Amino acid sequence: MSIWVQILLFAIPGITIYYGVFYGTPKLVSKGIPLIYSFWLWLWIPALLLLPLSIGLYSVLEDGALTIEAINQRFRLNPISRVDWLWIVLAVILTIVFDQLLEPVGKVLAKYKLFSPPSYLPEPFNPLKKFKIPPKEFFGVTLKGNWKLLMIFMPIHLIAMFSEEMMWRGYLLPIQEVMFGDMAWVFNGLLWAWVLHIALKWHVIGMIPSMLIAPLIAQYTQSTWASFAVHAIGNAPLWIILLMGIINTTETLNEMKQK
């Protein structure tokens, strides 16, 4: 597979998501579709399609057998060893540390028109808006007591991340290793950051560490499950934030005091 085809595989969903974030979402909202549906559909549909696409490319271009054993081998769905878990924990810690260290850079870039997020984007995704914990709303939806939101959001989020890992690390990374050797993870990570995630342009610098760490772990451990673990655990704070808003312990304590 040529480099240009690989870039195209990142670019098509990246451009689709960019359009969705900056133009598609406002259009749907203007037609009366709630923000939470308008925004996340534009993000998740391109990601969810990566899973069948990766399997399809493997089947058609490589004439791969559609058996569990063959897919596990080709996509490196190898079990995570105890040593791998140590690397995963280290990777998650490094991701969190670098995200915090580079967060101010994103806030500075977001102030410039070229890198600014869309005005509708709420906290904590919009660095120009103050974020309070526990949050009361999530994309216009009230959080307190809204367990249904979390029960729907988490599984779809997990499947979307798994779909990404199957395409970027399971399918493409082995191809890139043949082309770039030990540095394949760098090529993979930069395409993931600057092509697929171009919609998060205010994080063009801040996202680099986390986007490089996942393919590095995948290449080092030779396990797509390992990079999926890094990816999922790295995004888990969002679920925790939603959980805090749903429980909303601050308001609950205030209500108990008033009684």
Query: How many residues in total does the chain contain?
Result: 259
The rounded distance, in Å, linking the Cα atoms of 186 and 38 is: 33
pLDDT of residue 99: 92
- Model confidence pLDDT, tens digit, residues 81-140: 999 999 999 999 999 999 999 999 999 999 999 999 999 999 989 999 988 889 999 999
Tokens of 181: 């050797």
- Average pLDDT of the residues of the chain: 94
Look at residue 63 and give its three-state secondary structure.
Answer: coil
The domain spans of the chain are: 3-258
Tokens of 152: 């729907």
Q: What percent of the chain has pLDDT over 90?
A: 92
Neighbours of 252 (CB within 10 A): 13
The Cα-based distances of 170 to 20, 146, 185, 224 in angstroms read 26, 35, 12, 6
- pLDDT bracket for residue 259 (50, 70, 90): low
- pLDDT bracket for residue 253 (50, 70, 90): very low
Nearest alpha carbon to residue 220 among 171, 189, 182: 182
The rounded distance, in Å, linking the Cα atoms of 51 and 165 is: 9
